[in-house]
């Protein structure tokens, strides 16, 4: 099984039964992020970007660990990207985004993630207060990702 197929299978198992803020199947989010990453990834990093996109939330939001992913034999670039994309409580947002900016695969995946998180079709499903709160958060996230802050 290639890294993309392995990553997709792990994401499906790990996110089984989870829902997003709109109470839709959570797995649709990593699927869309993977699809978007495929469109914007450099050709030489396409496989790594798609695999990391499928896995970008599994360590943060499920019981899957970085060690589990390492044992599955994912390429080092995928492991590094997932590590940088996993939020850590002791890491400031600016430092989190600086680490992502400095890693080509993580940068592509985070870009695809933010595109999905700010998609008007998705945000229209949210309550107004949540939509306003997230709009401010994602505006800051874009600025941090682009290095504009």
Q: Could you read off the pLDDT of 61-89 as tens digits, one per residue?
A: 999 999 999 999 999 999 999 999 999 99
> What is the rounded average pLDDT of the residues 3-26?
94
Q: Is the dihedral of CA 13, 14, 20, 23 positive or negative?
A: positive
Buried/exposed 41-73: b ≥16 CB within 10 Å, e otherwise: beeebbbbbbbbbbbbbbbeebebeeeebeebe
**Domain 3-146, CATH homologous superfamily name and number:** Hypothetical protein af1432 (1.10.3210.10)
pTM of the predicted structure, to 2 decimals: 0.95
Q: Could you read off the pLDDT of 115-146 as tens digits, one per residue?
A: 999 999 989 988 999 999 999 999 999 999 99
């Amino acid at each position: 099984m290639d890294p993309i197929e392995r990553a997709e299978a792990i994401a499906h198992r790990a996110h089984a039964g989870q829902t997003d803020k709109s109470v839709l199947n959570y797995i649709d989010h990593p699927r869309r992020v993977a699809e978007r990453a495929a469109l914007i990834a450099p050709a030489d990093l396409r496989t790594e970007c798609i695999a990391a996109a499928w896995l970008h939330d599994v360590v943060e939001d499920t019981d899957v660990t970085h060690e589990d992913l390492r044992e599955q034999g994912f390429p080092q670039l995928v492991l590094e990207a997932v590590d940088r994309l996993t939020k850590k409580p002791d890491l400031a947002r600016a430092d989190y985004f600086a680490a992502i900016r400095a890693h080509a695969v993580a940068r592509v995946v985070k870009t695809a993630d933010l595109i999905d998180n700010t998609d008007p079709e998705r945000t229209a499903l949210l309550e107004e207060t949540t939509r306003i709160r997230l709009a401010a958060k994602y505006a800051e996230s874009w600025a941090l990702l682009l290095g504009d802050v």
